[in-house]
Structure 1
């Protein structure tokens, strides 16, 4: 008679499918805890997490405290993204087996997805201590440390991972990106070369978002996105759309709260024509409350709370609501869920605003303008390009609070202030070298930067010394509430943009406050948003054509006493901060997509 031992031997030999088939016969003939347990484990290994969970629950009905069953059940729930249940299951498993690294790892994964980063870090710390040579645990801890704004610590884990398993997926890119957070440029060129080699060899060796910041190569950006795209599922059959119905548009995001994307979008949502458009917000981010989330809820007719739903469930809910257009505002950014589009949420799927790159699959349309995706650049996009008059929306202009004094923010009196409030991860060695050239050419100037992650300021000051610039000429701004952050812009003379990932919302913030932005557009969308904004206000003299031109313009423009007044007037004349006008152009694009 066949036994669970034979099935286990098959499993140990790597024949999981055969072991599962044997276990299915065993539980039909003579169900036992062992057979149910092994059936659950093999199904989980074969990618059938839901079937695995059913088998494990059947085993637990016979023995509710068996450690292996409790552990495997945790892993199955985590694989199914049933995170609240997974956390409860992990606690139960650890109560009977308190030193179980896979369970701690699964617990960390579920806590991380639920936003409990500190608790997740404590869990993965247990796993690393118990199994210090397991690469997956080091990699997860590095990711968590990055989310907790501790990239220097994340880099140390990734350096250790290089010793354990130099072939670990995305290792070179993750280390390069972690170091970029603190402007630690050791081995930067070598790591960059490894990342590009991975992509050229057809390996998804870098997260798509990081790729946009690491190099200005749209062909590689598309390859990276295509390699990273979630698998497709069969396309549903869409019913005929009733003529004359309002167009149903759903905005999908985790950032529908006090966030840069929400600040850009809020006025447009409020300006949508309710007689022609029915607006849905599909929020899979946190319920934060607060003024911005309340404003967004008031601006949308329907608010779908989707954080606890799977990608497939969210797509199904969108289809049940009859969406004509699903607009993904996240793409491959943190907490983005491109798998929703893979499950087909609407007949027309659009990528816009939150992610300045192609998804490589599943989106039909990208919204851009003639600057961010110039004619001839369409080959780098898997989506069809629909161009608006300008790409980035903005809330309406409003009075700002008074600015702080220079002394309050650490700026010297009388100095010319070059400024960049971009995340320091966008500052490449090349950009910083150019900035130091500008500072050497303008001796009575300072460079005012966003402080960013711990360690970034110290590393940048050390690089300034190497470049022959006194470190005290770099002044760092700490995080501040948004109204105070906007107000302090008034103290800057000229914003210096970064490349290949330039200023987007940060450029709009500066222009809103009448501060000029000098930009150097490259080939990629991410490098061209500053140029798009400046084109929208008819200030092409702030768009450099080369690195040498960027330096020359910076020195001339910062000394121009009339420039800020000209920028403020150009902003007032333009429609850049007119959400009603933007909504009208957006609605015209949506209507054309539905007709098509």
Structure 2
């Protein structure tokens, strides 16, 4: 019990020590083995964690919690099919438990294993609406849920976090002087978050109006992006600190406005923000939805991705930028890729692509892409390879829909520069619903590949549409799946129309506001100042 309590405070080393003490008193005790596995998982010692949890499951195979934790560990061990089986066994032991169903559902989506997912989704959505389960909000974004359901999901999760911490004494924004702005994330390096914000931070640093601080939940990775980030802002390493120590470090830095760049995404530390280390706290960028959290004051968005009609689904005060909410690295270089043949692509024919993660490739999104292939002879769909047997499942699904399996071409994850170059071979990006391409859409557009999207009624379903809108390419935002399929087929069947579209995109990349990071820095500084003024800041 002490081991679990230590881990709940964000101190896995103390949790490990308590579990080892328990095992010295009673060797092979399954509860102690399970806690030891959880502690070592939190410490990143995945092989040891897996061994402890497997032994706990052997000792007590009817314990659903042990199988659940083993699933978490096997995810990080890159044993995709093993993780799915662990979640399945956990859910089989407690089929009425929607929280476990949600883990099983999320991992089946990652594996493109759609057997029974509709029933699992109904169970999870019903439990969320009835406030009967605490479901991870990030995974819930992949369901066909409303903004109101997403808010309920986030609120339930936030309530559990709030109950686990004690807030620090209240802090105030400084009366005057340069604002101290913090950004907290586990993505400050070669990560989508780092790639999105680095050029903006460099522009802000050159502007000099804000004192910038990065509170890193990840250890330094030594990447070029990480080095640029460290040059642009003061770095604070929170990766090995408890929730309380991390919150105290932010407070000690005198931060006025703290941006949460992770939210409910994987690797976030909401327990830190729940302690209110800064007087103004903002949800922005990485988590495309509401925090549902009383410790988050504002959400920074734009009028397309979060129109007034969606505000009721947000717990935060909405503050909109005049441009797209998403910055990007304007120093990205798009090199020359290997030949089509070397990449497994046919020498001729239209190449549709979708390099979104596999959990976004639900039956709706895949079926409309397969309908496009059916309407464009000789075309292929280029996809990012998924975990486990995901690729094989997608090929089998294509065959069942009458599409030859070799018309789906897969590629492994690439270093970012190599990945960007791939877009030179791609004619049109086919987006997913209800969870859009986000950083991936920005990459495609920067590399000159148009993105066809179908904006929905949630933030996560409108991000690619926002990027198109702010490029002046609203014709790429389609109202429904039928129009999406028809538009893709029409563009692919008219080479001159596709070439003209790519020329328009190239001009927009130079002229539109989307990739203007100097202008973005001005807007960001004004938005930050507005939030501080609401709390009594009089100016620099």
Q: TM tier, shorter chain? A: over 0.9
1:564 maps to which of 502, 514, 524: 502
Paired residues for 1:24-103 under 5 Å? 44=1, 74-91=3-20, 93-94=22-23, 97-103=26-32
Equivalent position SS for 1:213:
coil
Structure 1 residues 460, 118: closer, same or farther in 2, change over 3 A?
A: same
Alignment of 1:188 with 2:117, yes or no, is yes
1:266-319 CA-to-partner distances (Å, cap 9, x unmatched) read: 11111115642111111121232232222211110x221112222232222222
Partner of 1:11: none
1:578 maps to which of 504, 516, 519: 516
Alignment of 1:237 with 2:175, yes or no, is no
1:424 maps to which of 358, 372, 379: 358
Equivalent position SS for 1:523:
coil
Equivalent position SS for 1:452:
coil
Given that 1:135 and 1:168 are in contact with CA atoms closer than 8 Å, whether structure 2 keeps it comes out as no
Q: Which has the higher contact order (CA 8 A, sep 6+)?
A: 2
Paired residues for 1:194-593 under 5 Å? 194-229=123-158, 230-231=161-162, 233-234=166-167, 236-239=169-172, 241-243=174-176, 245-273=177-205, 275-300=208-233, 302-361=234-293, 362-388=295-321, 389-558=323-492, 559=494, 560-593=498-531
- Partners of 2:141 and 2:113 in 1: how far apart? 18
Equivalent position SS for 1:522:
coil
Structure 1 residues 136, 469: closer, same or farther in 2, change over 3 A?
A: same
Unaligned runs of 5+ in 1: 1-43, 45-72
- Partners of 2:517 and 2:251 in 1: how far apart? 28
- Partners of 2:333 and 2:7 in 1: how far apart? 48
- Partners of 2:437 and 2:317 in 1: how far apart? 25
| Structure 1 residue 156 displacement after superposition | 1.5
Partner of 2:108: 179
- Partners of 2:343 and 2:298 in 1: how far apart? 43
Q: Which range is displaced more, 274-283 or 515-524?
A: 274-283
Q: Which range is displaced more, 367-376 or 195-204?
A: 195-204
- Partners of 2:143 and 2:415 in 1: how far apart? 29
1:430-463 CA-to-partner distances (Å, cap 9, x unmatched) read: 1111111111111111000010112111000000
- Partners of 1:181 and 1:188 in 2: how far apart? 12
| Structure 1 residue 107 displacement after superposition | 1.8
1:12-33 CA-to-partner distances (Å, cap 9, x unmatched) read: xxxxxxxxxxxxxxxxxxxxxx
Determine which structure has more spread, i.e. the larger CA radius of gyration: 1
- Partners of 1:149 and 1:201 in 2: how far apart? 34
Given that 1:81 and 1:110 are in contact with CA atoms closer than 8 Å, whether structure 2 keeps it comes out as no
Alignment of 1:130 with 2:59, yes or no, is yes
| Structure 1 residue 504 displacement after superposition | 0.2
Given that 2:173 and 2:280 are in contact with CA atoms closer than 8 Å, whether structure 1 keeps it comes out as no
Given that 1:493 and 1:516 are in contact with CA atoms closer than 8 Å, whether structure 2 keeps it comes out as yes
Alignment of 1:164 with 2:93, yes or no, is yes
The RMSD of aligned alpha carbons is 1.8
1:150-176 CA-to-partner distances (Å, cap 9, x unmatched) read: 332222222222332223351221111
Structure 1 runs of 4+ with >6 Å offset? none
Given that 2:125 and 2:145 are in contact with CA atoms closer than 8 Å, whether structure 1 keeps it comes out as no
Structure 1 residues 374, 75: closer, same or farther in 2, change over 3 A?
A: closer
Structure 1 residues 282, 399: closer, same or farther in 2, change over 3 A?
A: closer
Q: Which range is displaced more, 226-235 or 453-462?
A: 226-235
> What TM-score comes out, normalization by structure 2 length?
0.93
Between the two proteins, the alignment pairs up a number of residues equal to 523
Structure 1 residues 304, 221: closer, same or farther in 2, change over 3 A?
A: same
| Structure 1 residue 82 displacement after superposition | 2.1
Structure 1 residues 246, 390: closer, same or farther in 2, change over 3 A?
A: same
- Partners of 1:562 and 1:544 in 2: how far apart? 19
- Partners of 1:589 and 1:372 in 2: how far apart? 17
